[in-house]
């Protein structure tokens, strides 16, 4: 199957800081690809690069950045505006800051459809009510007339999801969509996303730092560290056979009920994520890695553990 979204060797720099350093990944239709890593590893910047929503002083380069075969690097601003919110849509972490507090839910939701599809207000309102019901909001008619501050966090995030679906996107990018929510609401929202994705055949690029979410919803996982995809594999394989020392470390850090005794320390990765420049050479994880040696200061080969599983480490497959 051809990929919906293809990213090859993406690089994003802000002045002398390299936020993304040669990251590659692809999202197929109907697939949930999780991008996982700690704050500052470049996950959100990768997503914003796809949407061309980076701040002005950012520089974006890539060997290939394509959506449904169309080269996004060559696309004009108006060409991008035609896609954004239409064939590809994005959901952000904090629904309160990404919804406009001065407009009702209804007017924000219908705007997308009126703009992209030239729908009538009437048709757009019907569609909005329809989608609100679909994301599990009761009394959608009433909600359309409400302002974001009148909704709970979970409801706001549902509104964001419904809004993203207004124009039947093929690709949905969700950046930490449940991080601000309670665990109970998180489970509901993730179930909802998984169901919609299955029913509509969406490609979903889900950004999260939560390995529990990754394990439960992803078809494929890419682990990012300091701007690089250090490991990528089908979900079951990544959890059963993590090859990169960073992935292994991350998995040891997560407390799992019933797995680790209380008087035993959790596995921790000492130190913090380094900030690296565009000219950085070698493995960015080497300062925190138990297996690092001199060779880690030089270019690192990408190994294949299986056809669909690769990782970036000097240690052989």
Q: Which residues bind other proteins (CB under 8 A)?
A: 38-39, 136-138, 152-155, 182-188, 190-191, 194, 209-218, 235-236, 239-240, 249-258, 260, 262-263, 265-270, 272
C-alpha 116/C-alpha 223 separation (Å) is 34
Q: What is the nearest approach in angstroms of other proteins to the Cβ of residue 116?
A: 29
Q: What is the nearest approach in angstroms of other proteins to the Cβ of residue 156?
A: 12
Nearer to other proteins, 53 or 266 (CB): 266
Nearer to other proteins, 76 or 184 (CB): 184
Nearer to other proteins, 39 or 76 (CB): 39
User: What is the dihedral angle through the alpha carbons of 245, 247, 252, 257, rounded to the nearest 10 degrees?
Assistant: -160
Q: If DSSP states are collapsed to H, E and C, what string results for 195-261? A: HHHHHHCCEEEEEECCHHHHHHHCCEEEEEECCEEEEEEEHHHHHHCCCCHHHHHHHHHCCCCCCCC
Q: What is the nearest approach in angstroms of other proteins to the Cβ of residue 146?
A: 14
Maximal C-alpha separation, the chain: 66
Strand partners, 66: 6, 71
Type and span of the H or E element at 6: strand 5-14
Q: Where are the beta strands (DSSP E) in 54-202?
A: 58-61, 64-67, 70-71, 88-91, 171-175
Nearer to other proteins, 258 or 316 (CB): 258
Nearer to other proteins, 205 or 213 (CB): 213
Strand partners, 5: 27, 67
Q: What is the nearest approach in angstroms of other proteins to the Cβ of residue 286?
A: 16
User: Which residues, in sequence order, are CB contacts of 300 under 8 Å at separation 6+?
Assistant: 282, 283, 312, 313, 314
Q: What is the nearest approach in angstroms of other proteins to the Cβ of residue 174?
A: 14
Strand partners, 233: 221
Q: What is the nearest approach in angstroms of other proteins to the Cβ of residue 135?
A: 10
Nearer to other proteins, 46 or 186 (CB): 186
Nearer to other proteins, 201 or 212 (CB): 212
Q: What is the nearest approach in angstroms of other proteins to the Cβ of residue 289?
A: 13
Nearer to other proteins, 15 or 212 (CB): 212
CA distances from residue 13 to 26, 91, 277, 280 in whole angstroms, order as listed: 21, 23, 8, 12
Q: What is the nearest approach in angstroms of other proteins to the Cβ of residue 77?
A: 35
C-alpha 11/C-alpha 280 separation (Å) is 13
């Amino acid at each position: 199957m051809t990929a919906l979204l293809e990213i090859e060797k993406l690089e994003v720099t802000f002045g002398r800081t390299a936020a993304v350093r040669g990251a590659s990944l692809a999202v197929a239709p109907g697939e949930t690809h999780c991008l996982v890593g700690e704050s500052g590893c470049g996950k959100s910047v990768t997503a914003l690069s796809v949407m061309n929503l980076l701040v002005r002083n950012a520089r974006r380069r890539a060997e290939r950045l394509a959506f449904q075969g169309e080269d996004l690097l060559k696309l004009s601003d108006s060409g991008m505006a035609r896609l954004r919110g239409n064939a590809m849509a994005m959901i952000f972490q904090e629904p309160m800051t990404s919804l406009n507090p001065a407009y009702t839910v209804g007017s924000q939701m219908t705007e997308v459809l009126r703009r992209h599809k030239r729908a009538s207000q009437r048709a757009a309102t019907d569609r909005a009510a329809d989608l609100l019901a679909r994301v599990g909001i009761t009394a959608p008619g009433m909600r359309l007339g409400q302002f974001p501050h009148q909704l709970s966090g979970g409801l706001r995030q549902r509104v964001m999801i419904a809004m993203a679906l207004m124009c039947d996107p093929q690709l949905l990018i969700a950046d930490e969509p449940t991080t601000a929510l309670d665990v109970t609401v998180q489970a509901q929202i993730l179930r909802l996303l998984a169901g919609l994705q299955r029913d509509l055949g969406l490609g979903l690029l889900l950004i999260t730092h939560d390995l529990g979410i990754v394990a439960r919803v992803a078809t494929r996982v890419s682990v990012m560290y300091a701007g690089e995809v250090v490991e990528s594999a089908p979900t079951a394989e990544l959890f059963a056979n993590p090859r990169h020392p960073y992935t292994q470390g991350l998995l040891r850090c997560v407390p799992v009920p019933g797995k680790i005794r209380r008087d035993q320390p959790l596995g921790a990765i000492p130190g913090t994520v380094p900030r690296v420049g565009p000219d950085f050479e070698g493995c960015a994880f080497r300062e925190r890695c138990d297996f690092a040696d001199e060779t880690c200061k030089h270019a690192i080969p990408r190994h294949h553990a299986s056809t669909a599983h690769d990782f970036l480490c000097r240690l052989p497959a």
